[in-house]
Amino acid sequence: MRLLESFVSMPLHPPPFPESVLKRVATHAELHSEEEVCGFLIERESGEIECVESENTAANRKTSFKLNRSQFDKESESGRILALYHSHWADWSAAELSVEDIRQSKK
């Protein structure tokens, strides 16, 4: 399994994230090793950075992802969303943003 942590809504030079947060992203992907997963990296008011898993609401989770909109709204009110992530699980899936990933990030 290959994991792509796609930070699609980040500045050009993203801030470093704590190793524990990145491990949580990887664990999330490993637990769902045959579908794409997605979530948020959020900075709480305390300054703590947290990985928050999102439900993938895409019609076909094996080939795409769609963040849960109501969860996005809720999390954006409870902290500052620093990044969105999703995984590519299949060996045939490139470890880079696809044209569709980029298109979806602009919605």
The length of the chain is 107
The predicted model scores a pTM of: 0.72
Sheet strands (E) in 8-97: 38-43, 49-54, 80-86
100 vs 85, more confident: 85
- Regarding predicted confidence, which is higher, 6 or 73? 73
Only one residue has tokens 């999330």, namely 28
Over range 8-21, report the average pLDDT. Answer: 66
Say what percent of the chain tops pLDDT 90: 29
Cα-based distances in Å from 2 to 15, 36, 68, 72: 23, 11, 23, 26
- The sign one gets for the Cα dihedral 107, 62, 49, 13 is negative
> DSSP string of 63-77?
T---B-HHHHHHHHH
